[in-house]
Structure 1
Amino acid sequence: MSRNTLERVLWQLSVERAAKDRFREDPRQFLARFALSEDEVEMVAGFDVAALQRIGVNPMLTMGFWQELSPTRSMKQYKALLGATDEHSAGFSAALKG
């Protein structure tokens, strides 16, 4: 896994307008520029923030990516994907550890 490359991709997608636009148009074409495995492309294109965090990607980058580009941008859904239960949903964390 290329954690450093994934972090660079997520950072770019969180801060660069042109990168966001290219990703929105065709996520896989945008991601083809980077040395990513097919699994990594699937994680990013599928907004699998839990898988990204499991392989060590910085939680603040996954959260920024989610807030900028995910289909719903819902923090409740983001936390649910990370395993938040109803009792944990009231709090806030970029990463939820079980």
Structure 2
Amino acid sequence: MSRNVMERALWQLCVERVAKERFRQDAVGFLGRFALEEAEVRMIVEFDVAGLQAAGVNPMLTMGFWQELAPDRNMSLYKQRLGATDEHSAGFSAALKG
């Protein structure tokens, strides 16, 4: 896994308007400019924030990516995708603790 490349792609998607527009139009095509493995592209396209974090991607980047581009930007859903149970869902955090 190329964590640094995934982080670079997510950073661009969080801060660059043109990158966001290109991703919305053709996510796989946009990600083709990065040296990513097929599984890494799939994690990004499918908003697999748990998989991204398990691969070492910074939780603040996964949260920013979710808030900027996820089809449903609901933070409760973000935490569910991380594997949160009801007891984990009360507060806001970029990653689940412990």
Deviations 1:16-64 (A, max 9, x none): 0000000000000000000000000000011000000001000000000
Q: Pairwise mapping of residues 1-98 of structure 1 onto structure 2 (< 5 A)?
A: 1-98=1-98
Amino acid at match of 1:40: E
Structure 1 segments, 4+ long, off by >6 Å, are none
Amino acid at match of 1:52: L
In 2: Cα distance, 1:10 partner to 1:97 partner: 22
Give the structure-2-normalised TM-score.
Answer: 0.97
Q: Which runs of 5 or more structure 1 residues have no equivalent in the other structure?
A: none
Please, what is the CA RMSD of the aligned residues?
Answer: 0.7
Give the SS at the match of 1:61. Answer: helix
In 1: Cα distance, 2:88 partner to 2:54 partner: 19
Give the structure-1-normalised TM-score.
Answer: 0.97
Give aligned pairs, total.
98
